[in-house]
Amino acid sequence: MLEGGFLINRLQPWFANAGKRLVKTPKLYIRDSGLLHHFLRLRNFDSLLGHPSLGASWEGYVIEQIRRATQGNWEYYFYRTQHGAEADLVLIDPAGKMFCIEIKFSSAPVLSKGFYQSIEDLKPDKAFVIIPAGAAYPKEKGVRVINLGDFLRNELG
């Protein structure tokens, strides 16, 4: 009912590699970050910045903005193995191009070995780290750090 009422989104796991032990439980996101913050009793931005749910809130917000920008015409997954490889979002465009995305609320994100392992496993066409603000810049192994606005304007076309 919550999904049908557009209150939550269910993000399914990516299952392409049968040889890996994958996490198969979907992730749930509250679509309205204001509603999430109300449930968490976060009354202002400063209280959000110090809260342990900041990263999850930002991740849900980014995924919701990408869904809106792509108008639901793309495929959306997450990837996680039991050995620690993880990508917050695996995005597949209508032509079949795959994007592997990590979402970080930081202007200088530190990427885990698990994200690089997910890139090695999935072999995406592009890999990104989406941050709130700042200029885009390259990281190692072909990963591009980019702010959400630039990603929505320049990478989803």
pLDDT reported for residue 2: 65
At residue 4, the 3 state secondary structure works out as coil
Rounded to 10 degrees, the C-alpha dihedral 98/110/84/51 comes to -100
Domain boundaries, the chain: 8-154
Of 19-28, 50-59, 137-146, give the lowest mean pLDDT range. 19-28
Phi, psi of 22 (to 5 degrees): -100, 150
The pLDDT of residue 16 is above 60: yes
Mean pLDDT of 88-96: 95
Amino acid in position 53: S
How long is the chain?
A: 157
Q: And the tokens for 150?
A: 């630039």
**Into which CATH architecture does domain 8-154 fall?**
3-Layer(aba) Sandwich (3.40)
pLDDT reported for residue 8: 65
The pLDDT of residue 44 is above 60: yes
Neighbours of 25 (CB within 10 A): 9
The conformational region for residue 142 under phi > 0 = left, psi -120 to 50 = alpha, else beta, is left
Q: How confident is the model over 20-31, as pLDDT tens digits?
A: 555 677 787 777
Amino acid in position 35: L
Using 50, 70 and 90 to split pLDDT, how confident is the model at 6?
Answer: low
Mean pLDDT of 48-64: 83
